[in-house]
Structure 1
Amino acid sequence: MNRKELDPDSSPEAAFGARLRTSREERGWKQEELAERMGYSGTHISAVETGRKRPTLPLARRADVALGTGEEFERAWRKLQHSGLLEGFPQFVEHEAQAAEIRLYEVGVIPGLLQTPEYATALAESAVKRGAITEEQAEERVALVAERQAALLRTPPPLVFVVLDEGCVRRPVGGAKVMNAQLDRVLEFAELSHTVVQVAPFDMGTHRTFDLPVYILTQPDRSLMSYAESTQRGHLERDITFVLPLLTAYHQLQAEAPSQAESVAMIKQLRKGSP
């Protein structure tokens, strides 16, 4: 019987398949036996184990039930789904969905929590054209934007503090129609009772405390965590020793930046095409 050797590091699908095969063999089961327990054909299980077929969420959940692995395969599936995202970001999103307070500073682009579908799509399509991500990963990014925004609709909603580098509102994305609708969305967001939006202008100079995007979460138990990223990777930090200085710097940034009223006025001028 031919046995295809797998390299779990070759792809997320291969990692999932290798894990499924190992768990099955540890129990002394053949593919047909696991397939019967899960309600799939042996051919289907073979294709998943060898990385030829991408696993689905129902399959992952059935594997957990059949193998008694808790949520191991469901977590592996979710990791596979987020394979086009920066390291640490999927974990950050899970915590973001539960946070009592969200503080963020963004550079260059409107942050996902405020993006319109058209704006998010324009960014994703641009990344595909550059060869940075696949079309499937682009769809994932746009879908994740919607999921993150839906999580804000919970009751009570989280307090959301947003500071945008001036480049976020001046950089054209997707053409005039898309950009104007996006600025309208930012203005609508600023009107909500649980949000604060500020724009950090270019002339803040050295008073701007961050050069890269930063997110700080306050969980319901008042614990803190932060997420920061560069072009190639992200980092989720839970150690309060490192998070507190970021929180202090964020408060300093808010204090130095123009007020929400001044920031809204600036965005309205841009929206009208005023200098």
Structure 2
Amino acid sequence: MNIKELDPDSSPQAAFGARLRRLRGERGWTQDELGDRMGYSSTGRKMPTLRLARRADAALSTGDTFEREWREMRHGSLLEGFPEFLEHESRAAEIRLYEVGVMPGLLQTPDYAAVLADSAVRRGSITPEQAEERVALVAERQASLNRTPPPMVFVVLDESCLRRPVGEPAVMKEQVQRLIEFAEQPNTVLQVAPFDMGTRRPFDLPITLLTLPDRSLVSYAESAQRGHLERESTSVVPLLTAYHQLQAEAPSQASSVAMIKTLRKGTP
């Protein structure tokens, strides 16, 4: 029987496939038998998904081996700096973020995240599998906030995040309600930077600032081509100062939530 060789050193995908084939062979299963156990008609896809990796681990009793291997592959396709940022974010004591245009991932509802991901698929910038993984990543990041003790999360949204429609009205209505619920949590502060702040706004682009458990600071920002993670205090401390200025200039959480509720009433 002529079986196509897989060189595990040729690519991460080939290494994933070679491991899957080896473990399947050790158990004496055919590809169809493994597919049945995993709930897939075929396991020979070019780019594995998170769901496939988890089902492979379950079928082959390999713990989280395939899931970890999948994450390494996924991180290889993410913007430079973002995988390391995710590690810092998952253990940060304080998270401060300012977002423009769209809701930040930590506050997105599943439907809102899915609409953004599906839009990227239609533009041809990502595959349907990558869209599924993008939505799963949003959920994973949000789940990491439920650790004990939870981090303090400070969010300032540019008014454009509220004004830009994403998906059907029901999607936006649910997303707005999510913001209100977020603001009610004891470890969160939510503010809206209205358009009329004008030049009193210290940031023009999104920024995230993390305070780690040892009180060191990290900042993260993205361009169209790459993410930039900064650890040097001489660069990050001025950003933190500017963020405090942003919070001081923006309306209070009570006023911001009142504005959000007004928008919610106007949502069909």
TM > 0.5 fold call = yes
Q: Does 1:121 align with 2:114?
A: yes
Corresponding residue of 1:262: 255
Partner of residue 157, structure 1: 150
Residue of structure 2 equivalent to 1:94: 87
SS in 2 for 1:98: coil
1:168 maps onto 2:191 in alignment: no
Q: Which of 210, 235, 238 is residue 245 of structure 1 equivalent to?
A: 238
- 2:210 is matched with 217
Write the letter of the residue equivalent to 1:163.
Answer: V
Q: Partner letter of residue 205 of structure 1? A: G
Provide, for residues 35-92 of structure 1, a one-character-per-residue CA deviation record: whole Å limited to 9, x for no partner: 48x9478x99xxxxxx9675947989xxxx9xxxxxx998664231235532222221
Report 1:156-235 matches (<5 A): 156-235=149-228
Tell me the amino acid that sits aligned with residue 78 of structure 2: L
The 5 A counterparts of 1:51-66 are 54=48, 56=53
Q: Deviations over 1:176-199 (max 9, x none)?
A: 110011000001100111100000
Give unmatched runs, 5+ long, in structure 1. Answer: 9-13, 22-30, 45-50, 66-71
Distance 1:130 1:3, change over 3 A: closer
Q: Work out the CA distance in 2 between the residues paired with 1:152 and 1:39.
A: 40
Q: Please, what TM-score do these two structures have when normalized by structure 1?
A: 0.76
Say if 1:57 and 1:77, in contact at 8 Å, map to a contact too. Answer: no
SS across alignment from 1:152 = helix
Distance 2:47 2:71 in 1: 16
Q: In structure 2, how many angstroms separate the alpha carbons of the residues matched to 1:100 and 1:126? A: 33
What letter is aligned with 1:117?
P
Normalised by the size of structure 2, how large is the TM-score? 0.78
Equivalenced residue count is 244
Identity over aligned residues, as a percent? Answer: 64
Distance 1:173 1:183 in 2: 11
What is the alpha-carbon distance in structure 1 between the residues aligned to residue 135 and residue 154 of structure 2? Answer: 22
Q: Which runs of 5+ in 2 are unaligned?
A: 32-44
1:148 match: 141
Q: 1-side partners of 2:151 and 2:93: how far apart?
A: 5
User: Could you say which residue in structure 1 is the equivalent of 2:37?
Assistant: none
Cα separation, 1, equivalents of 2:86 and 2:112: 20
- 1:87-125 CA-to-partner distances (Å, cap 9, x unmatched) read 222221121111110000001001111111010001100
Change (3 A) 1:207 1:5: same
Q: Structure 2 vs 1, CA of residues 152 and 19 (structure 1 numbering), >3 Å: closer, same or farther?
A: closer
**Distance of aligned partners of 1:4 and 1:74 in 2 relative to their CA distance in 1, 3 Å threshold:** closer
Q: Deviations over 1:208-260 (max 9, x none)?
A: 11111111111111111111012232111122221111111111111111111
Instruction: Kindly provide the amino acid, as one letter, of the partner of residue 145 in structure 1.
Output: V
- Measured at CA, do residues 7 and 227 of structure 1 come closer, stay the same or move farther in structure 2, by a change above 3 Å? same
Partners of 2:93 and 2:104 lie apart in 1 by 18
RMSD: 3.4
Distance of 1:267 and 1:175 partners within structure 2: 18
Tell me the SS of whatever aligns to 1:142. helix
Q: Output the amino acid matched with 2:84.
A: Q
Q: In structure 2, what is the Cα distance between the partners aligned to 1:218 and 1:227?
A: 12
